[in-house]
């Protein structure tokens, strides 16, 4: 089931050696994965928000929740209480299962895929990147979606630096672009 978790456990000594870590408790690991969709385009359409929520729930394998605006912003025509997005936080088995499907099935289905950008790290070992559409996941049926939308994926690690986070994700099979991008 959780092939990626088993792979991580097998690679821990290799990661420790590469990062020159003395204490085994300092070896970086995965903490959580957050999938979010900014759905400002669908603020007034509750059916579309529900459809996005259902799609993200299907992709993640866990119930997604609608994000509600906390305050009004006139420039964006947003009022307090309006739905502005959908998100889900994955931990444990669900996190490993999602990342395994993302790396081995979904990303290779992206047309002209050259890898995910290397510059998505935040300085603390966490990685962010975006996907253009939800149709790269095989569990999403084209007939069941109302509108094509992208999503942001944040991989939160226990790494303390971008280098440690990069090593961890590379060892787990994250297909980064070639070169120093």
Residue 104, domain member (yes or no): yes
**Does residue 132 belong to any structural domain of this protein?**
yes
Say what the pLDDT of residue 46 is.
Answer: 80
Q: What is the DSSP string of 8-40?
A: HHHHHHHHHHHTT-SSGGGS--EEEEEEEEE-G
Task: Quote the domain boundaries for residue 131.
Answer: 3-40+87-171
Question: Would you say residue 45 lies in a domain?
Answer: no
Within-domain flag for 24: yes
Residue 138 lies in a domain: yes
Count of domains in the chain? 1
Answer yes or no: are the C-beta atoms of 47 and 106 closer than 8 Å.
Answer: no
This prediction's pTM: 0.86
Q: Please name the residues in contact with 7: beta carbons below 8 A apart, sequence gap of 6 or more.
A: 172, 173
Strand partners for 78: 73
- Band the pLDDT of 1: cuts 50, 70, 90: very low
- Where would I find the beta strands (DSSP E) of 19-98? 30-38, 65-68, 83-90
> Model confidence over 138-179: pLDDT tens digits?
888 787 778 888 889 999 999 998 898 899 988 888 888 886
Residue 81 maps to a domain: no
CA-closest candidate to residue 31, choices 124, 95, 87, 88: 95
Average pLDDT, the chain: 85
- List 155's β-bridge partners, or say none: 33, 127
> Does residue 157 lie in a domain region?
yes
17-72 pLDDT, tens digit each:
888 888 888 889 899 999 998 877 767 778 888 888 888 898 888 999 988 888 88
**pLDDT for position 158:** 92
CATH assignment of the domain containing 24: 3.30.1440.10
Angle (CA) 127-119-123 rounded to 5° is: 60
Q: Is 35 within a domain?
A: yes
């Amino acid at each position: 089931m959780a092939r990626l978790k088993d792979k991580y456990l097998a690679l821990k000594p290799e990661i420790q050696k590469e990062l020159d870590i003395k204490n085994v408790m300092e070896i970086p690991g995965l903490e959580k994965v957050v999938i979010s969709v900014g759905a400002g385009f669908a603020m007034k359409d509750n059916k579309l928000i529900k459809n996005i929520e259902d799609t993200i729930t299907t992709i993640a394998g866990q119930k997604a929740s609608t994000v509600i605006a906390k305050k009004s912003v006139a420039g964006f025509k947003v009022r307090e209480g309006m739905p502005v997005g959908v998100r889900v936080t994955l931990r444990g088995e669900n996190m490993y299962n999602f990342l395994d499907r993302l790396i081995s099935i979904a990303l290779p289905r992206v047309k002209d895929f050259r890898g995910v950008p290397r510059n998505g790290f935040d300085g603390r070992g966490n990685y962010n990147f975006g996907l253009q559409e939800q149709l790269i996941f095989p569990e999403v049926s084209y007939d069941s979606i109302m509108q094509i939308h992208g999503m942001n994926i944040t991989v939160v690690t226990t790494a303390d630096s971008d280098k440690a986070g990069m090593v961890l994700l590379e060892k787990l099979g994250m297909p980064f672009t070639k070169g120093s991008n």
